[in-house]
Structure 1
């Protein structure tokens, strides 16, 4: 189990991480979701030992690792750009860590070959060892980078936006492969990403990092359905967050959130009286295949989004520039404290 306790990191006057408490349980695929600049990569670099925290502690299986050199932490790191050696073959890239690690490097060529072959088999690249890394696809290079990390048998694997350099179809396939590989190994993966879809798909647990702090850490279905605060909801890209004062109905003042797919639309002045509702102007729509996304502007300027599933359409024909009532069931909203 990886544990961060009150970890902070500052760069001059800027705070990247601010008293982070974070746990990655044993044998878990943990996804860390955050926007650009949230501190995701900084957090990974602190865990890996490339940087040290200004305060707080980092422990692995109960033993502190902050302050230790990175090569003594038994932590694997898969970089976004793969960081492969272009002049080496696939097998030579994978074997590099075994040959050159600071602690107990291997010199027995038969053992190096056996472990390299086993790592390549694990990631589905049996028979690719002789190839140059420039002669294989992006997805295959990703798997070489993973094999190079796994061959040294780390206690936890850190993945820094590992699918960011891949096209959409390849990302989808690699999601399944990464989860299957992790399950076979039985070690924890910590996968950081800016994609809410990727985080919810990959993670047994998903943590949201914003403003240098962990806002919420939960099972993906719990996080998606019950965000605990406005920042967590905002990062899921599925919730409208707006001030309760915009609504007709008996609502406590403060920010509320309603999911895109749980808002209904009707002609102005016709919203059911039993439901919370607000007036908004229709701006435009966006067709996304099985769904359509409609954009509205509330009286205070807040942009609101409504999803319509085209297999079961529920929205009326909308006219740009015209006002409508947006309404929803009372139990569809999440009410938060503080500013939105």
Structure 2
């Protein structure tokens, strides 16, 4: 088990990580989701030992790692750009760590060859060992980088946006393969990404990094359906966040004055969250009984294959997104520039107290 306690990392006046605490269980696939510049890669570099925290502790299986050099941490790192040696063959790249690591280097050529071939078979590259890394595809280079990491049998594997350099088809295939490989090895993977789709697909647990801290760590379904705060909801790219001030049990937002679930004090700051696919659209005079609504002007639509995304703007400037699943469409034909009622069931609303964070 990997445990991070109170991890802080500063660069001059900028704080990248601010007292972050987080646990990666044994035999787990954990996704770390964060926006660009949120400190995701910094966190991986601290765990791996390429940088040291200004405060806090990093503990793996009861042993404190911070202060130890990278080669003594027994941690695998798969870099975003693969970081392969261009002058070596696929086989030589994979074998490099076995032959030249400081401790427990493998001197037997037969053992190196055996373990290297086993690693290549594990990632589906048997028969590719003799090729140069410039002679194989991007997806195959990704697998070589993974094999080079796994052959040393690390206690945990860190993956820094490992699918970012691949095209869409390869990403989908590698998602399945990464999960299958991890399940066979029973080694924990910590997979960093800025893609909410990738994070939710890959992780048994998804942790959201924002403001230098983990704002939520949950199962992927629980996170998507019930984010605990506005910061987590924003990172999922599936929730509209409307901020405002409470007035007589309603929230004054830039989408209008909206009812809120629960009782809040006047003057209190709060946000409500409405999921893209939980909002319906109709003429203002045709809002079904029992539903809450506000009005907004239709801007444009975006076709995404199985779904269509519609963009609306309220009179006070809030941008609202609505998703329609084309297998069971529910939205009427929309005219650009026309104002519609956007309505939803009261129980679909999530309420987050406090100022927007």
**Normalising to structure 2: TM-score of the pair?**
0.93
Q: How many residues align?
A: 340
Q: What's the counterpart of residue 294 of structure 2?
A: 278
2:302 maps to 1:292: no
Label 1:155 to 1:250 Cα distance change in 2 as closer, same or farther (>3 A): closer
Deviation at 1:247, TM superposition (A): 4.2
Q: Distance in 2 between matches of 1:254 and 1:280?
A: 21
Matches within 5 A, 1:1-340: 1-243=1-243, 244-245=251-252, 246-249=256-259, 251=261, 252=264, 254-340=270-356
Deviation at 1:23, TM superposition (A): 0.4
Please, which runs of 5 or more residues in structure 2 have no aligned partner? 244-250
Q: Distance in 2 between matches of 1:2 and 1:255?
A: 34
Deviation at 1:227, TM superposition (A): 0.3
Query: How big is the alpha-carbon RMSD for the aligned residues of Structure 1 and Structure 2?
Result: 1.1
Map Cα deviations across residues 69-123 of structure 1 (whole Å, 9 max, x no partner): 1100000000000000010000100000011101121221011101111111111
Q: Distance in 2 between matches of 1:241 and 1:153?
A: 44
Map Cα deviations across residues 160-207 of structure 1 (whole Å, 9 max, x no partner): 000000000000000000000000000100000000000000001000
Q: Equivalent residue of 1:254, what SS?
A: strand
Q: Equivalent residue of 1:207, what SS?
A: strand
Q: Distance in 1 between matches of 2:355 and 2:324?
A: 29
Choose 38-47 or 323-332, whichever is displaced more: 323-332
**In 1, are the aligned partners of 2:90 and 2:133 still within 8 Å (CA)?**
yes
Please, which runs of 5 or more residues in structure 1 have no aligned partner? none
**In 2, are the aligned partners of 1:249 and 1:275 still within 8 Å (CA)?**
no
Q: Equivalent residue of 2:298, what SS?
A: strand
Q: Distance in 2 between matches of 1:236 and 1:47?
A: 25
Q: Equivalent residue of 1:301, what SS?
A: coil
Q: What's the counterpart of residue 247 of structure 2?
A: none
Q: Distance in 2 between matches of 1:338 and 1:248?
A: 16
**In 1, are the aligned partners of 2:260 and 2:272 still within 8 Å (CA)?**
no
Choose 250-259 or 173-182, whichever is displaced more: 250-259
Q: Equivalent residue of 1:33, what SS?
A: strand
Q: After the TM superposition, which parts of structure 1 deviate over 3 Å for at least 4 consecutive aligned residues?
A: 247-253
**In 2, are the aligned partners of 1:89 and 1:132 still within 8 Å (CA)?**
yes
Q: Equivalent residue of 1:336, what SS?
A: strand
**In 2, are the aligned partners of 1:268 and 1:279 still within 8 Å (CA)?**
yes
Q: Distance in 2 between matches of 1:88 and 1:247?
A: 65
Q: Distance in 2 between matches of 1:288 and 1:168?
A: 14
Deviation at 1:315, TM superposition (A): 1.2
Q: Equivalent residue of 2:97, what SS?
A: helix
Q: Equivalent residue of 1:218, what SS?
A: strand
Choose 98-107 or 272-281, whichever is displaced more: 272-281
Q: Distance in 2 between matches of 1:314 and 1:247?
A: 25
**Normalising to structure 1: TM-score of the pair?**
0.98
Deviation at 1:215, TM superposition (A): 0.7
